[in-house]
Structure 1
C-alpha cells in the first residue's frame, strides 16, 4: 500500500498501540525508565466500568515494584476467603466448604484484589502522566510496514517500523506517519496489529456461554463478600466481591437463553441484565438475590481459548495481552497475564535501546511469555470444564464432584496466583548451580522475606529493595562474615567481581551502579557485625548491607538463608533480573559462570 503525502512525520523509540492493561503497564514502565515512548488508543475515553477486575498476588508484587501497590490496596477490595456451594439433597444449594482464596504459601500478598479495570488503568495513567506520557486518543492506525532491510533490522538505532495513523476527528490529510524502532501491539483480542502482520490465533472456541453482571445486591446469601463457586442443577455461578458494595456475578447460560436458532450465534438482544439476574436467582435458591439499584455493567461471552502463533515479528513488532492469548475470565488471569507480558518486555526494550544488551535479548520475550500463555490455556481448559460442567448428584454420577473441583482449585493455586510462574532455561535463565540456593528457584520470582538492615536494624522485605528500575540486582549472600575465614573469601570475591574482566566492569558502561545494584546479606547476628566490615564494593551505600536476623523486638526477620536453601557459612551469589525473576545463582568460586551468563546477552561498554 503506497503512503500518500502527509503533513506530519515523526520518530519514536517505542510506539504502543492500545491503552488497556498491557499497554499502560508497558508505557508506564518505559516512561519511568526515560524511554522515548508514545501510546495511542482508538477509544475516545478510558474504560468507565466493568471489564477485567481481578489482580492476583504476584501482580500485586509487580505493582509494588513500580511503587503502585499502595493505591491499588487502598481503592480495591481484598478477597481472602472462597466458599463452595453445591446441590442440596433437599433442593436448591448448600455450602459445602470454605477455603483460602489463594493457595500460594510464599505469596507476599495472600489474597486477590478486585477493582474495575478503569480504576486499575487510572493508577498507571496517573503514574505515566507524572513522567510526561499521556494516551493519545482517539487515534486509529491504518497501515503498518516493517522494513525488509537486514541492515536496518539489525541496527538497534534504526527505525524500521513505519506506521500510518489518523485521528478520526480530523481530515485524512492530517494523518501522521510514525517511524518507530519498536512497536508493541496491545490492542486486544481483535488486534489490528496482529491481523495486519498475518499472525494467526491457534485454538478453539468452547460451547460454554456466560453472562456477567456488576451490581449492588440485595440478598440473604451469607457468602456474598467471598469469592464463591456455585454449582447448581440450574447451572453454575461465580461471585466476585468488588470495591465498595459492588458484586460481580458470572452466570452460566444455556443455548436457548442467548443463541439465535437461525444463525447459531449469540444474540445479545435476547438477553439483558434483568434476564441474567433471573437465571442467577434460580441457581441461588433457597437464597434470594436481587438489586434495587442500577446495573453497573453487563456483558455476554463465549469462552475461547487461543494463543497467537508468534508474539513478535523480527523482534521489532511485538504483541501482548489479549492480542496474543484469550481464555475464560473466571480464573482471573486475563488482565494479570496481559500486564505481566509487558512487565517482561519493557526492561528488555529499555536495555536494548540504551545499548546495554544485544537485540537477541528480545527473543526471550516470546520464549518466556508464549510458553506461559500455552500453560495458561491448558489450565483454563481444565478449569473451565470443571466450572461449566454439571455437578455430581444422586441422579448424575458422571458430574463434577465438590472434591474434584476443590482439589483443582487448590492444585492450580500456585499457577493462578502467578507465584508459580516458571521461566525455562534461556540466555537470561541459567540453572546449573541451583543446588547452592536450592529453594530459590531459577526462573521464578524472588521469594519475599524480611531481612534487617545492618546499619540500623530496620526490617525490610527484600522485594522492596528490588524495584523495577531496569537494573540487575546482585545479591551477595556473604555468609558469616564474623568468621575470619569467610571474611577472607568475601574479600577475594569482591576483588574478583571488581576486576576488569568481571561482568560488573565489562558491562557497566562507565557507571556500573546504573546497570547493577549490589546488595549484601550476611548470616551473622546484629550484635556481631558492622556494615563497614564488608569490602567497599559490597557496601556502596550504608543501606545496601542486610542481615538475616530479627528486628530489635524479634517480631520479624530471621531464617532467610534457610528459606532460600543457602549455606549460612559459605553464602552464594544470586542475580535477580530487572523484572524480579531469579536469573542465576552461583557459589563464590564460580563467578566465571555469572560472567558467562551476562556475556550471553549483554553488550560491552
Structure 2
C-alpha cells in the first residue's frame, strides 16, 4: 500500500475545498486534494458570487477572470398578484451594501468557478486526485499537540485506478479539511452531529436559455403569485435559472418522505412556472441545461473541528436554502478564514490555539446565517398578501427584509466577535472602520508617482497582516521610532503602509523616515488623484482625526483585527504577541 506525507489533505474539490487548496498552494504548503467526482461540475449546482466574495477573489488575483466570464446581476425586480396574473411592483438595486466595492452579484456556474481555482492551483503545482474517496481516518493522540507532526492518518481508495496503480493509499497529514458536502464522510466519521431541522419548503431548479416575453428575464426577479413563488437568476451568456416552488404532495414520496425525482422533470417544473408567471409565457426551450428538486434544510454542525487537526467546512458544516445566494459564498469564506491560520501553524508563526478561532468565528456566522434563512425562506415561500389572503406576505415587508439583510447577504456586514485576533478596544480612533469587519475600499494616492491606488488592492491574500499607519500631523521621526520595533520583530508576517493626510501635501516620500517607508510604493496620501475625480476622503470616511491619526491592523483575510492610537504601538505588539511566535 502506497504511503505519502502532506501538510494538509483536503477531502472534497468543491468551492470550499478549492478555495482552501488554492490559498495553501499559493503559500507553498504541501497539499493533496481528493474528490470522488471524475471531473469538475459540468453544469448547474451553485452559481452566485456575492460582493464580498468578489473582493476575496480579487485578493487572490482571480476576480478579473470571474468578472470576464460571469454575468453581473445589478437590478432586482419584484412581481406580485395583479388583476390578470402577476404585475411589476418595484425595481431596486440588487445590492444594498453602501461600501461594496463591487455593487452587484456575479453569476457563473459552479464548474466554471472551480476551473478558475483549478488553473490557479495547477500553476502552483497542485491538482486534484480523482475519483478517490476516504475509507478510514485516525488521529494519533500522541502527536496531536505537536503542530509539526503528521498526526492524522487517512486511507484513500481509488475508484478507477490506472493499470498497475495500487487501489488504496495511506496519507499522513498534519491537518485534514473535510469539504465534502452536505453528506460529508469526514463529518460522519468524526461523529459530529448536524443540529437543526428540515423545512416543509420544496423547490425545483431549471437552467435553460428561455423563450419568453417576460420583460425582466435578465434581472434578479422575485415573483409572488397565487400559484406559488418563483425566482429568476440570469446567468452567463443567455442562460437563466428558474427557482420554482412546488407543492409537497407533487414531489414527495409518501412512503419515504424524500424528494422523488421520478415524479418531476424539467418539463413539469416549467409547467409549474408557467402558472406562476401568467400572463407572461415561457415556451419550451431547445434543451434544459440542468435541473433538480430539493427540500430546504437548515442545519449547523455541532462543532467545526476535532483537536484543531481535522476541520469541516462549507456544506459539510452548514446547510440552508439557496434563495439568498449564500451557500457557495459561505463555503468559500469558511476556508478563506481557515487557510491563513493553517499556514501560520505550519510555518511555526503561531500555535495550534490560533486554529480555535476558525470554529469560533465561522460557526457563529453559520448560526446567524441559519437564523436569517429561517425568516427569509418563510417570506420567500409564503403566499402573497391579497384581498382574499390578508395573512400573506406583504411586498413592503419582503422588500424591507431584502434591503435590511443586504449587508449580511452581500457578505459586507459579516462581523466577527472579540477574540485574540479581534480586539474591540480603541474603536473610536477609526470610528467608521468596524473592528471585526472587512476593511472597506478606499482610493489613496501614491506619494512617489501620484498613482491612484485602491486600498483593497494593498490587501492581497499573501498570509501577511497589513499595518496602516495614518500619521495624522504627528511628528514623523518619533512615529518612525515607535513603529520600528514592530517592523523588526514581526516584519516576516506584517506589511506596513504609511498614509499621510492632505495637510502634509508638501512632503515627498523621501521625507518620510525609513521605518515608515519600507518601499516607495507604500507611502500614500489622502488626496484626490490628478484629475480630481476620486480620493481625498479616507480620513473622514474612516473616522480618523487628521491631527491625531491612528493605526489600523488588517488580518491576512482582509478583516480588521484592531485599531490603536499612534502613541500605543506597544498595544499592537501585544496584539501580535498574543498569538504569534516571532521571537
On whether the aligned pair clears a TM of 0.5, the verdict is yes
Give the conservation status (yes or no) of the 8 Å contact 1:189–1:326: yes
Larger displacement relative to structure 2 (286-295 or 129-138): 286-295
- In structure 2, the partner of 1:586 is 564
How far apart are 1:200 and its partner, in Å? Answer: 0.4
Mapping of 1:102-113 within 5 angstroms? 102-113=95-106
Report if the CA contact (8 A) 2:305-2:312 is conserved: yes
Please state how far the C-alpha of 1:496 moved relative to its aligned partner: 2.3
CA contact (8 A) 1:142 1:164 kept: yes
Q: CA deviation at 1:262?
A: 3.5
Q: Distance in 2 between matches of 1:71 and 1:104?
A: 23
Distance 2:502 2:91 in 1: 43
Q: How does 1:159-558 map to 2 (within 5 A)?
A: 159-170=150-161, 174-480=167-473, 486=474, 488=475, 490-499=476-485, 502=486, 504-506=487-489, 508=490, 512=491, 514-524=492-502, 527-558=505-536
Q: Does 1:126 align with 2:122?
A: no
8 Å contact kept, 1:391–1:401: yes
Deviation (angstroms), 1:357: 1.1
Deviation of 1:526 (Å): 7.5
Distance 1:87 1:103, change over 3 A: same
In 2, the alpha carbon distance for the partners of 1:292 and 1:260 equals 28
Where does structure 1 lack aligned partners over 5 or more consecutive residues? 1-5, 481-485
521-530 vs 183-192, greater mean Cα deviation: 521-530
Deviation of the 1:525 alpha carbon = 5.3
**Contact 1:26–1:343 (CA under 8 A) maintained in structure 2:** yes
**Equivalent position SS for 1:479:** coil
Per-residue CA shift, 1:328-379, capped at 9, x if unaligned? Answer: 0010000000000000000110111111111110000000000000000000
Distance 2:160 2:56 in 1: 37
Q: Could you give the per-residue CA deviations for residues 121-168 of structure 1, whole angstroms, max 9, x where no partner exists?
A: 11000000000000111111100011122xx21111001100001112
Provide the C-alpha distance between the structure 2 equivalents of 1:202 and 1:139, rounded to a whole number of angstroms. 28
SS of the residue aligned with 2:434? coil
Question: In 2, distance between residues paired with 1:253 and 1:336?
Answer: 26
Q: Does the Cα contact within 8 Å between 2:471 and 2:566 map onto a contact in 1?
A: no
Q: Does 1:63 align with 2:57?
A: yes
- Structure 1 stretches of 4+ with a deviation exceeding 4 A read none
TM-score, normalised to structure 1, is 0.95
Q: Secondary structure at the match of 1:177?
A: strand
2:149 maps to what in 1? 158
TM superposition shift of 1:401: 0.3
Alpha-carbon offset, residue 188 of structure 1: 0.3
TM-score (normalised: structure 2): 0.98
Q: Which residue of the partner structure matches residue 483 of structure 1? A: none
1:43 equivalent in alignment to 2:29: no
Which blocks of at least 5 consecutive residues in structure 2 are unaligned?
none
Contact kept in structure 1, 2:502 and 2:536, CA below 8 Å: no
In 1, the alpha carbon distance for the partners of 2:44 and 2:285 equals: 19
| Equivalent position SS for 2:502 | coil
User: What CA distance in whole angstroms lies between the structure 1 residues aligned with 2:550 and 2:76?
Assistant: 40
